A and B are shown apart, each in its own frame.
Chain A
Amino acid sequence: MTTDVTAQPTVKLVGTEVRRVEDDRLVRGQGQYADDVLRGALEMAVLRSPHAHARILDIDVSGVLDVAGVHAVYTYDDLTGAMAEPLPLLIPHAALTHGRTQYALAKDEVNHVGEAIAVVVADNRYLAEDAVARISVDYEFLTPVVGIPAARAAEHQVHADVPGNVAARLEQNVGDAEAAIATAPHRLALDLDIERSASMPMEGRGVVARWDTDARRLQVWTSTQTSTGVRAAVAAKLGLDLVQVDVITPDVGGGFGVKIMHPWPEELLVPMAARALGQPVRFTEDRREHFISSAHERAQQHHVEVGFDDEGRLLGLSVEFWHDNGAYTPYGLIVPIITSTQLLGPYKPQSYKVVFESLYTNTVIVTPYRGAGRPQGVFVMERTMDAIAAYLGLDRTVVRENNFIRPDEFPYDHGLTFQDGRALVYDSGDFPESLRKLKELVDWDGFERVRAEARAEGRKVGIGIGCYVEGTGVGPYEGAHIHVETSGKVKVAVGLTSQGQGHQTAFAQIAADELGVRFEDVEVVAGDTRRMPYGVGTFASRAAVMSGSAVALTARMVRAKALRIAAEALGASADDLEIVDGVIRVVGDPAKSIALGTVAVLSNPLRYAFDEASKAATQFSVGDPGKPPVAEDDEPGLEARDFYSPMRATFANGMHAVIVETDPDTAEIKILKYALVHDCGTIINPMIVTGQIHGGVAQGVGGALYERMAYDENGQLLNASFMDFLMPYATEVPESIEMDHLETPSPLNPLGIKGVGEAGLIPTSAAVASAIEDAEGFPITAMPISPSELFALRLAHASKGTTDEDRR
């Protein structure tokens, strides 16, 4: 359903499928991505390590500057001041005892294929690549550490000063899980693995910078999920005052986590070169570079021990896991902390112990990718639930139901510390109702009939389920600035950035509703530090919760001020006023009214008139001569800035079910049906929410069946291209995704919103594994899974004599 915003102006926009304001520009090819701004800028190319682990003995750049069109070449030796220090460790943690970060350009050693060693700036990228090819480097090879088993074995070290390759070890306990397991009526142990993958946005990283030699200001456009973060990093590293640096987020061609990492070496080197050369400089990452020099995620190996009663209730749960953090730890321990806390999902084990080690390997760094540790945690928990159900001979949904937190138990405190350093307390949800809806949607109880029919045709099918709870909208804060122009147009700025989530539309819906103005009169700008210098970033499904709430709070301030000024102008009480379509009027007496734009004029007492409207605000026209023109506690202008800073995260949740068919001959895996129920509290724009979930499910299917980073033992990434890193096309995703919603509004924010950005992919690997296991009759303990791997499992289980029939 489309809302015609012009015909029904008084209808609330929040909750309706308003079409996106972003799209007209984008479908005309008028988007402005990082590679599109400052046409003609010089271009940077990077010499990257071809080796996974080596000492750099010598770098010879002689001859590079002889190439026509080359302007500069930089190595570590050219870096000075803060630029010569290691890049920041963004999120320190007491348990991260051996945190290490790289240098903007490698100093003395390289620790993964793709690490930046030198950069060249030339007239264009072609010439810059030619020049890079002229740099020669002498290496002393060191033995690379690749994969979690090698990192744990620690026969070789990634960093000479990090014993055992262990960056961090963190343990949390609730009760005495080991004792509870030891005395439980039933016990199981499982080993569960997830492989490496990556965000892989269609647009790679990109940064362009211009140093204004006259104004002594730096302007940086970067394809980022945090413009405020990049701004602070650039200023600190280049020795500039914060007010000298503007960071502007252009259109961003997808992020999915990888662009929250900052500052990338190029985000510092491009501004550095632009200032040094006095000319605009650009770096546009190519696809191969994105594979080997941005960030990956997901690789973890887990060992689970669980004790449970006859109903499958968790009496004790103990999880130990090993997290592959790659060569450096710039983003701290966020991913494994999320796994360790969020694997609990909608369940309440009576006791819980979790311990992880974060391990160095000579591979690309690991930072959050959509889901950020949750897909692994949910996989671990849901596989455990299925194993318990199989062991007890119970329906898989019954075991889950028996472990659910009940609706009357919210807020539910797990007794753990979450990724934001705050207590892990769920705010709201109704898990039994979600499960009921899901079972109905997928016809869970009717599946044995489907299975029997398929079997009669010689086909193998299976059904699986995955449940999750996702902490969304973590702090510390987000803000909004709203300014009403004298034309009545409303200009909104938020501090975080957009990568396709439709923020310009969703936040305009909120502002229009709160202020009582027309949707088309609201314009939203995101990620421009000139307009909103305070903000954190777009990650952890937080934009709607954080900035949405900030926009609502700020709009309420603007509204209050507008009503106060209008009340005075109309000689009415503010309590009797309403704002409709940008006009403030007395309720029941619409003849007494004043336009919001006029109120904006009145809000700013003037000495000088510059147009007809502003005459009304000049000193001989308005004002009580007995009072100062601007009251002591007031300020000029119809504008406000406010911030939303919650005590803790709000927890969205959902459940997915999938039916798969596995080919008995070729082991090909096809998804026949995908159904899900999700609860993200109040929905701002159902069309956008549905789109987020569609995209998440497709990415989840990619993660379950297609995508993995294939490193060889030398640390070479064997599939660093779209030919061999198998992102799904339209032909690889489910033909339809059936969806049902549940809205349990969050009590933590003014609109009751919970985040939804990551919801679609969090339980996908768990649900698909569950379905394949159901179809095949043997445990699926590692994801992703390819037909080749499924075939190998069949052979292994056939030789062991485990068959479908044994399990039923």
Chain B
Amino acid sequence: MKPSPFEFLRPATLAEALEALAGNPHAKVLAGGQSLIPLLSMRLAAPEMLVDINGLDELAYVRASTDGVRVGALARHAEVQADADAERVQPLLAQALALVAHPTIRNRGTTVGSIVHADASAEMPVVLSLLSGSLTVASAASTRTIPASELYAGPMESTLQQGEIATEAFFPALAPGAGVAFDEIARRHGDYALCGVAAVVTVDDARKVESVRCGYLSVCEVPTVLDLSEVFASGAVGDAALAAAGELALGSLEPEADIHASADYRAQLVRVLTARVVRAAYDDAVDRSDRRVR
């Protein structure tokens, strides 16, 4: 279980990194490496070159402002999770990050890296998708911004092009009247979830539900976001509506079976977790609205 040989470059600037990537179609970017290095060791990936961006200090930032949180490519999960400003602007970030693997992995792994890795079992791609965030990617030629809705092409496949480096993820701020929640069920604490659901619920001044959106991980081949507002048309979050939300979600999801869970069981978790997070996100929205009024 040792990696195949590869060339190694540790650029001092982003431009240098992009140039190296442009020059070798079989080069890969190394950031936290918490997903990449196991793949190398198992020889499931054998890039010709690794471009180690850990020296690019300019990408090691978490910036929270009123419109949202900007996370640089070298910000470690633990740093994003611990950032009080980021948590205030978009509380879903810290909630989700607490469920990413174990603290030791979060100390090294990067949030942007996890988003680019495009694992449908991971938390952060779903968070970015649910929040309608975006990813800034740079290449030697240009820089572009990919909306989360256009980021995932298939299992473990993003729409980044060869030669591009993701430099920043943008998570929009929590809107007034909105609340969030994240919950997942894993076999062991810290494992990839069998099913995870994140929710954003918005309420009006009368505390009636305006909109309900949920993001699903480990259910389908790609992170999936659904608008479940229609079953809450009455504005209330009752048991019947919550049950209907799960069923509505299942209408658009095709839960898969693996060695840990049958498709039926995953469907059950979709029902249970949808109800749980929508209720929790609704309570959060009401709570925040109440606090804003006070």
Contact = CB atoms under 8 A, between A and B. Distances in A.
A and B touch in the complex (CB under 8 A): yes
Interface of A: 125-126, 129-130, 133, 286-289, 665-668, 706, 710, 718-719, 723-724, 726, 728-729, 731-732, 786-788, 791-792, 795
B293 interface: no
A665 B272 contact: yes
14 contacts: A125-B2, A130-B4, A130-B5, A666-B185, A667-B265, A710-B259, A723-B191, A726-B191, A729-B190, A731-B188, A731-B189, A732-B189, A787-B185, A788-B261
A288 B185 contact: no
A706 B189 contact: no
Could you tell me the dominant secondary structure of chain B's interface residues? loop
Given A130-B4, A286-B1, A791-B264, 10 more contacts: A287-B1, A289-B1, A667-B265, A706-B187, A726-B191, A786-B187, A787-B185, A787-B261, A791-B262, A795-B264
Interface of B: 1-5, 42-43, 185, 187-192, 194, 259-262, 264-265, 268-269, 272
A719 B187 CA distance: 14
A718 B188 CA distance: 18
Contact of A666 (B3, B190, B260, B269): B269
B188 A729 contact: yes
A287 B42 CA distance: 10
A299 to B, nearest CB: 16
B259 A732 contact: no
Contacts of A288: 1, 42
Contact of A791 (B190, B260, B268): B268
B208 to A, nearest CB: 27
B259 A706 contact: no
Contacts of B4: 130, 133
A666 B1 contact: no
A788 B262 contact: yes
B260 to A, nearest CB: 7
A669 B272 CA distance: 16
A120 to B, nearest CB: 13
Contacts of B259: 710, 718-719, 724
Nearest to B195: A666
A788 B260 contact: yes
B260 A786 contact: yes
Nearest to A730: B189
Contacts of A665: 268, 272
A288 B2 CA distance: 11
Contacts of B190: 729, 731
A792 B264 contact: yes
B188 A668 contact: no
Contact of B265 (A133, A287, A728, A788): A788
Contacts of A286: 1
Contacts of B2: 125-126, 129
Contacts of A731: 188-190
A127 B185 CA distance: 41
Given A791-B265, A791-B268, A706 B188 contact: yes
User: Most chain-B Cβ atoms within 10 A of its Cβ — which of A718, A723, A726?
Assistant: A726
A77 to B, nearest CB: 27
Contacts of B268: 665-667, 791
Contacts of B189: 729, 731-732
Nearest to A727: B188
B188 to A, nearest CB: 5
A726 B3 CA distance: 25
A726 B188 contact: yes
Given A719-B259, A787-B265, A791-B268, A726 B187 contact: yes
Contacts of A129: 1-2, 43
Nearest to A705: B187
Contacts of B185: 666, 668, 787
Contacts of A787: 185, 187, 261, 265
A666 B272 contact: yes
A728 B188 contact: yes
Those 4 A-B pairs whose CB atoms lie nearest each other, nearest first = A731-B189, A286-B1, A788-B265, A710-B259
Nearest to B269: A666
Contacts of A287: 1
B119 to A, nearest CB: 12
A125 B41 CA distance: 12
A281 to B, nearest CB: 17
B281 to A, nearest CB: 18
